[in-house]
Amino acid sequence: MKTKTEPAARPSSSPGESPSSGRSEVHICFRNVTVNYASVVALREINLEVYRREILGIIGPANSGKSTLLRCINRTLDFVPGAKVTGQLLIDGQDVLKVRNVYALRRRVGMVFPLPVGLPLSVYENVAYAPRRAGVRQRHELDAIVERCLRQAMLWDEVKDRLDILGTKLSGGQQQRLTLARALSLDPEILCLDEFSIAIDPVTTMRIEDILRELKQRMTIVLVTNLVQQARRLADRTAFFMAGRLIEVGDTENIFEHPQCELTRRYVEGDFG
C-alpha cells in the first residue's frame, strides 16, 4: 500500500451519510476549525461532521488534538489562557463559538474528563447540583434524577445507602462514574467522553459501554479513547487524528479493516501510539 500523509481527512462515506445507519442528520459540524494555544497549533483546519444519535470514536496518539476537539464543543476552552479558536462549530446549525449564553450550551453538552473532578459535596448533591441550578426544586424529582443517573453510571448499587457521604471519599473509579452521572443529570443531547475508562476496572468499563449503546438512542456521543479496541467495539464511525490534523474518518469497520491512509493502518495495528 502506498504511504499517504496528506493533511486532509479521507472520508470513507459521502458527506451527510452514515454508512452504519443510512442517511442521518448532522448534529455537530466543524468547519475549518483551528485552535491555537499561544504559538502552538493544537488543531488545524478541522472539517468534521457528527451525526445525530451516533457514537463517534476519536483516536490518535498523544498530542493529536483529541481532547481539544471535545473542549471546543462545550466551550471549556474559554477557561484556557491564550487559547484561540477560529472557524465555525455548528450544533443544529448554530455557531456555538459565537453564542453568548455559554451556560445554556453546557447544559446541552455533558462532559466527562479523563480523571474524576468531584464537587466537594455529597454523592447526592454532586448529581443534583446541575438540576437544582436549572430550576428543579421538588425533592421527588431530584430523587428520581439522582437514582436514574447513578444507575446509568453503574454506581447506584454501590452508593444507594450512603448518598450523604462526600463524593471525594469514593474510590477513584467510583468518582469517575460519579462524574459520568453528573454529566447525565441534565439529560444532555450531546455527551463528550474523554478517556472515561481510565480509572475504571475492565468489568465496569464493559458494563458502562453497554449503557452508552443504550444512551445512543437518545443522544449523540463523542468518545475520545486511546484504547483503539474500545473505539472498535463502541463507535459507529471513527476519526483518526495526528499532530492536530484529521487524517481519516469513516465507518469504524472500514477504518480498522480497510483504512485509506497508511498512517491510519499503522496506528490501528499498533505500529506507533
Name the residue with higher pLDDT: 117 or 18: 117
Instruction: Output the pLDDT for position 201.
Output: 83
Query: Sorting pLDDT into bands at 50, 70 and 90, what band is 118?
Result: low
Report all structural domains of the chain as residue ranges with CATH numbers, in order of start: 10-116+189-268 (3.40.50.300)
Q: Indicate the Cα dihedral angle 21, 22, 26, 28, nearest 10°.
A: 30
Q: How many CB atoms lie within 10 A of CB 105?
A: 17
Please identify which residue in the block is written with the cell numbers 479493516: 257
| Mean pLDDT of the 239-264 span | 97
pTM score of the predicted model: 0.88
| pLDDT tens string 184-236 | 999 999 999 998 887 778 888 888 899 899 999 999 999 999 999 999 999 99
pLDDT at 241 > cutoff 90: yes
pLDDT at 23 > cutoff 70: no
Spatial separation of the C-alpha atoms in residues 39 and 41, rounded to whole Å: 7
Rounded alpha-carbon distances, angstroms, from residue 2 to 115, 266, 271: 39, 12, 16
Instruction: Output the pLDDT for position 15.
Output: 37
Spatial separation of the C-alpha atoms in residues 34 and 154, rounded to whole Å: 37
| pLDDT tens string 134-177 | 899 999 999 999 999 999 999 999 999 999 999 999 988 888 89
